[in-house]
Amino acid sequence: MLSLVPVLALVGAAGAVDNGLARTPQMGWNTWNRFGCNIAEDLILSSANALVRTGLRDLGYKYVLMDDCWQADRREEGTGKPVAHPKRFPNGIKHVSNKVHDLNLKLGIYSSAGVKTCAGRFGSLDYERIDAKTYAEWGIDYLKYDNCYNQGRSGTPLISFQRYANMSRALGESGRAILYSMCNWGEDGPWNWASEIANSWRMSGDIKDSFTGYDDRCPCTDMLDCKLAGYHCSVTRILDFAAPLLQKGGPGRWNDLDMLEVGNGGMTFDEYVTHFTMWAFVKSPLILGNDLSSMSRETMEIITNKAIIAISQDPSGNGASRSWKRPVKDGDAQLWTTWLSNGTLAFAVVNTSPHRIQIDMRFSEIFKNAKNATARISSYQLYDLWAQKTEQPPAWSSISSQFPSFVSSLDASNSTIKTVLARSTNWGKDIGVHNCALQDVIVPPHGVKIYLAVSAGVNEWSSECAQRESAIRVVGEPVGVEPPFVPGSVLGGYQMALIFFGVVGLLLLPAVRARLFSQHRVQLRSRPPKGDFYYA
């Protein structure tokens, strides 16, 4: 990759994003995943009304985004201005904008940094100023800017930066604050330069409504070394792509993992829960892509989980990190953590395996990167943020009466988990104070468990706590267990304990010994522990 010095030298000329928008990841709805090119004025306005009727607007879903195919066959003759399709939008885009704004929502539009859009309509390459000016006149609040038909103006960070900076500059000069959502599929490493010109940037190929698995249309294994981002990328593949990039985002500038597929029918309930949870957890924009007119109760349960939304909209904008990814049968288990603005920590365990797994989580591991050393030896009040998902009332019947103050706090982009917990009992299940570890966490196939940890004070390191740290119960055959390592010694405490109890078994309890060694096979290794997994 070429040096970024020439790119950064152009930042001043392009103008860094200072439009005050997307201080938390943007939320809304987009036409493409469900409707493709089959869009029209009636669909946009009925979907806008659905956001209001279901209470989704009041949860923060405020952008109504028209994707590709809103355009006429060609630009306005003589002026070169963009024109809406006369049959699909007979009253024009300004009319749609006014109707959407009357609902206290915002309207978004789509174009491409190429001579054509991905569906073959006219693009905005070399028409940036006239398009941005027209969008502002129409009252547009959001631009999704794609990467098709770019005339070969890509291949290095500098070339891509210049092409996308042209639209950034034009939007800045339009006289209207317009959220700028870059969609160049991670080409030329936008996480290294797009934060200076855009409010968000796509960092991978297009999503597919599937949870896991390889598709040769999404060929890359690492976005840091990817020549063809492709499309049909699964949820877990995009998470893998995003993991090393998440510290690049922040308030006003976000990694975009693509639109949500929740409710489109290609995944199970647990898979959609994981999809929505992790997009919120890593601070990706939350852009719905389903049919808002026919949502199931299960879909509403997922997209209205207020605690998950509050993590997404936490004003700190702290990036999430993946602490580890461990192989299990037919998949892997992953630990993710993120610090929130009030000093609490959220952590999530993702299971990409088609098998149910059980895991004992150690606080010394979860909090190993905490700035405060005592965090690793504290007791924690834990909240399971999905435990009550089947008990929550539908959002449209409860949101206005139960959570008006929370609605206001989300609109003001200052919600915190502490506020959430104080205002409702529906933020998941209080599972009590835990010392040293959270035992026996069951994660369903392709599922997620997510917790909020609130400090309950420093825990004295008693022998019981030390034993709980080192003697994790094993059920079934462990996968990926790595015993602890004591620096300066060949065998750590875990190994010594195994040897000790093995000797006791050999000498005193032959029957127990035989049963133990026939059921449990543990391989000794000389590396630190990172989690214990077993199938339930």
CATH of the domain at 420: 2.60.40.1180
Q: How far is CA 85 from CA 36, 40, 59, 134, in A?
A: 15, 9, 32, 15
CATH number of domain containing 177: 3.20.20.70
Q: What is the CA radius of gyration of the chain?
A: 25
Instruction: Give the dihedral sign, CA 228/336/411/173.
Output: negative
Is the per-residue pLDDT at 488 higher than 50?
A: no
Q: Of 451, 466, 481, which residue is a domain's last?
A: 466
User: Bigger pLDDT: 466 or 489?
Assistant: 466
pLDDT in tens, 162-199: 999 999 999 999 999 999 999 999 999 999 999 999 99
Residues 387 and 501 in one domain: no
Please report the pLDDT score of residue 375 as a whole number: 62
- 18: pLDDT confidence band, cut at 50, 70 and 90? confident
Domain presence at residue 307: no
Q: Is the pLDDT of residue 115 over 70?
A: yes
Which of the residue ranges 167-176, 376-385, 452-461, 527-536 has the most confident prediction, judged by mean pLDDT? 167-176
**In a shared domain, residues 414 and 479:** no
- Going by pLDDT thresholds of 50, 70 and 90, the confidence category of residue 533 is very low
The mean pLDDT of 84-99, rounded to a whole number, is 99
Is the CB of residue 411 less than 8 Å from the CB of residue 310?
Answer: no
**Both structure tokens of 355:** 């098998």
Lowest mean pLDDT among 69-83, 147-161, 337-351, 479-493: 479-493
134 shares its domain with 46: yes
Within-domain flag for 310? no
Q: Are residues 135 and 208 in the same domain?
A: yes
- Cα separation values, 68 from 150, 280, 507, Å: 16, 25, 75
Please give the pLDDT value at position 536. Answer: 36
222 within domain boundaries: yes
* Percent of the chain topping pLDDT 90: 65
Q: Is residue 316 part of a domain?
A: no
In a domain, 118, yes or no: yes
Residue 48: which of 25, 68, 66 has the closest Cα?
66
Confidence of residue 482 (pLDDT cuts 50, 70, 90): very low
* Residue 168 and residue 140 in one domain: yes
User: How many domains would you assign to the chain?
Assistant: 3
pLDDT at residue 202, as a whole number: 98
Scanning the structure block, which residue is given the tokens 């593949």?
237
Q: What is the domain extent for residue 502?
A: 471-536
The pLDDT assigned to 423 comes to 46
pLDDT at 435: 86
Residues 454 and 535 in one domain: no
Q: Which pLDDT does position 428 carry in this prediction?
A: 72
Domain match, 454 and 475 both: no
Out of 153-167, 352-366, 381-395, 482-496, the most confident range is 153-167
201 and 144 share a domain?
yes
Q: Residue 282's pLDDT is what?
A: 98
Q: Tell me: the pLDDT tens digits for 221-249?
A: 889 988 889 999 999 999 999 999 999 99
Residue from 67, 68, 131, 206 carrying the catalytic annotation: 206
Of the chain, the percentage scoring pLDDT greater than 70 comes to 74
- What mean pLDDT do residues 109-117 have? 99
Average pLDDT over residues 351-373: 84
Given a cut of 80, whether residue 481 has pLDDT beyond it is no
Longest alpha-carbon distance in the chain: 96
Tell whether 390 and 440 lie within a shared domain. yes
From the candidates 58, 131, 146, 360, which is the catalytic residue? Answer: 146
Give CA–CA dist 383/375, Å, rounded: 17
Report the phi/psi class of residue 531: left, alpha or beta, with left for phi > 0 and alpha for psi in -120 to 50. Answer: left
Compare 69 and 525 and report the one with higher pLDDT. Answer: 69
Instruction: Point out the domain boundary residue: 466, 492, 520.
Output: 466
Examine the domain organization and report whether 43 and 161 are in the same domain: yes
Residue 271 lies in a domain: no
Quick: pLDDT tens for 34-79. 999 999 999 999 999 999 999 999 999 999 999 999 999 999 999 9
Task: Determine the Cα–Cα distance for residues 238 and 427; give it in Å rounded to an integer.
Answer: 27
The residue whose two tokens read 């210049």 is 162
> What spatial distance separates the first Cα and last Cα of the chain, rounded to whole Å?
46
Stretch 296-300: mean pLDDT: 97
Tokens at residue 376, please? 């690793």
Query: What's the whole-number mean pLDDT along residues 268-274?
Result: 98
157 close to 196: Cβ distance less than 8 angstroms: no
- Together in a domain, 386 and 250: no
468 pLDDT more than 90:
no
In a domain, 370, yes or no: yes
Cα(511)–Cα(518) distance, rounded to whole angstroms? 11
Residue 206 catalytic?
A: yes
Residue 191: per-residue pLDDT? 97
Q: Is residue 276 part of a domain?
A: no
Q: Which of 466, 493, 515 is the last residue of a domain?
A: 466
Same domain for 138 and 215, yes or no, is yes
What's the average model confidence in pLDDT over 387-414? 40
Contact 302, 272 (CB under 8 A): yes
Is residue 430 annotated as part of the catalytic site, yes or no? no
Q: What is the mean pLDDT of residues 124-151?
A: 99
Q: How confident is the model at residue 213 (pLDDT cuts 50, 70, 90)?
A: confident
Q: Which of 200-209, 265-274, 510-519 has the lowest mean pLDDT?
A: 510-519
